[in-house]
Structure 1
């Protein structure tokens, strides 16, 4: 049995939980399935959660593990990009074109870099929280985010920090690129 306050915290975390797999998969139905599976697993393992610790990090860790398990099962070889090219639609406006270019560039990043960038950049987690979710050292997350931003700045031909974000890692990525 889950107490009301913990249940309310879990429900409040669902929108952020949902945004993460949407960014990783690009598919809202898969994202919803992953979030549902995450909540079911969390409720089934609620006795393992230590009250007073970071519930969001615990839930994101469960979600991340579920995603990676599913990803390994569904991974499709697409070395030349022909499969991905068939899945694309042509957007109507410039913002959608920019977003399409960003998503395509994001998809080329190694999974560990993409995940770190999404946790820190899209989810707004601190490097410490992202490290906890990913079960790696804080420096590893910083490194992955830096490499991801550097690669994206090259792929998207970005030249100023305002185009990527204001933190010191972004400045360093642009300076080195």
Structure 2
């Protein structure tokens, strides 16, 4: 399709695009903005259009995606032209989260290997108890028991147990183990 015929087909599609945009947005001005944005994207991405396919369907897909993208953005935005809302916002320091994570990783290494392995399969890797039991070649009840004991021991260690000592080597070992579990 030549450049001229592509542009001619775009112009011919405008009434259909406007009608569709109006049905989505319910607002004439917003519909016109959507059509304008759709046409701009279509021209910018002309090489993605496959000649011989339905141009109007391609344009409507672009328009619909633009509409939903704008809707998702609008949900996160707050009208705050005078800055009142922005003045109330605060950022919580993230150091505590990092420290808690390093304590958790160190405490994870304090668990017996069978409990740690079961906990990682269920908690970090997202396997079901049945899948974990098959992988560990044991019964489902055994896996549930190991996970329960592991969680209780982690809670005890993380809440100030006197036999818990933060260990950088243990933190690194836990980090490596979790990365392998998540990437497997």
| TM-score, normalised relative to structure 2 | 0.39
Specify the structure having the higher radius of gyration (Cα): 2
